[in-house]
Amino acid sequence: MKQVLLILLLIFASLLLTGCLPGDGKNTEDNPAGFLWGIWHGWMAPISLIVGLFKPEIRIYEIANTGRWYDFGFYLAVVGGFGSISLGRRKKSRS
């Protein structure tokens, strides 16, 4: 029962957070995405990829960004976010 609730909670949270995906119109040339948005978009990249298959305006990467700082934040989130998944896995003990 706990696993079902956890899965439902994760699905709900993912749907709630899709409002902040790259290409949603929040960032423009006058208001470009910066370092913190780069981190956020890096964390949301897997969800952006899936949503982008059905909605062509949603992209993995925000085009209206500040440049290198956005790139740096995006890179940190992709490498750090996906790399930390392996830290949570249990290691098999050799016996």
In a domain, 28, yes or no: yes
Residue 74: which H helix or E strand, with range? helix 68-83
Nearest-angstrom CA–CA distance, 76 and 84: 12
In a domain, 44, yes or no: yes
Nearest-angstrom CA–CA distance, 87 and 95: 21
In a domain, 92, yes or no: no
Per-residue pLDDT for the chain (95 aa), expressed as one digit of tens each? 889 999 899 888 777 766 778 877 788 888 899 999 999 889 888 888 888 898 888 888 888 899 999 999 999 998 887 655 555 656 666 65
In a domain, 32, yes or no: yes
Query: What confidence score (pLDDT) does residue 74 get?
Result: 92
In a domain, 77, yes or no: yes
In a domain, 89, yes or no: no
Number of structural domains in the chain: 1
Residue type (1 letter), 1:
M
In a domain, 88, yes or no: no
Report yes or no: 37 and 70 within 8 Å, Cβ to Cβ.
yes
Query: What confidence score (pLDDT) does residue 23 get?
Result: 78
Nearest-angstrom CA–CA distance, 44 and 50: 10
Nearest-angstrom CA–CA distance, 15 and 79: 23
Q: Which domain holds residue 37?
A: 20-83
Query: What confidence score (pLDDT) does residue 70 get?
Result: 93
